[in-house]
Amino acid sequence: AALRAPLCALLCLARAAAARAKPSPVKVLSDGMWRELLQDEWMVEFYAPWCPACENLQPEWEKFAEWGEDLGVNVAKVDVTEQPGLSGRFIITALPTIYHCKDGEFRRYQGARTKAAFINFISDEEWKSIEPVSSWFGPSSFLMSSMSALFKLSMWIRHGHGYLTENLGIPVWGSYAVFGLATLFLGMVLGLMMVFLADCICPSKRHRPPQPRKQGPESAHLLKNRYEEQEGDEGDISDDETERKEGSRRDSSPSGVRQRPVPSAAPLEKS
């Protein structure tokens, strides 16, 4: 009896060590692996290490993952504190959050958080009764890609703030001033780029070549009449000029010089 207690303790420690050494069947996803969700069938848990509800779910999730190979489903988890891009793509607002993914369609699981409930959800295809997420809000849409980039930027700013205040010893107001100046500089650069692109796409009027104005049928008819009248006036003017030129030629020619008649001498009277 005295030896049984130490032996039981050793067996418990050995089992615990074996459990720790055994690799977890739950896959860990990162931001760069999200495209794998577009193929096959997945059950994905979004969690945070500091969340008590997530800690309570982990044993059931591990047991469910052991059935993943038999059910033909990939069981995975995402740490939102380490992978902000994925949490931004799915707009995670509560923890833990579970999504079912199959062939590019995404549905949010809202059932019981037990191994049996998860198994029934897959084996009985209960996910078919849930409306999939709209394509506008799907992880592969442009909107969710923008949200993912925004979440990554916010996480980068958070790490940068921590580095400035903790590692470099800059006060909090100094870190805010640095980020404020950086934001102003980036805004100015982006504004100049937008103005340049707008000027290239839609140049100002002074750079545009002159374009003929479109005329209506009435204005075209009036212009035609005015043009005909101008032609008639030019014809009359040209005829008058022609007559003047011909008259001047006749006057200036030697054959056309007028000779005055010379009176004949009067007869001499006889004395």
Cα radius of gyration rounded to whole Å, the chain:
48
Active site residue 51: yes
**CA-closest candidate to residue 90, choices 31, 159, 156:** 31
Q: Which of 51, 101, 200, 202 is catalytic?
A: 51
**Residue 254, preceding peptide bond in cis (omega within 30° of 0):** no
Q: Which of 54, 101, 200, 202 is catalytic?
A: 54
CB 44 within 8 A of CB 99: yes
Determine the Cα–Cα distance for residues 102 and 122; give it in Å rounded to an integer. 11
CA angle 30/36/38 to nearest 5° reads: 125
Active site residue 54: yes
The neighbour count for residue 54, using CB atoms within 10 Å, is 20
Residues forming the active site: 51, 54
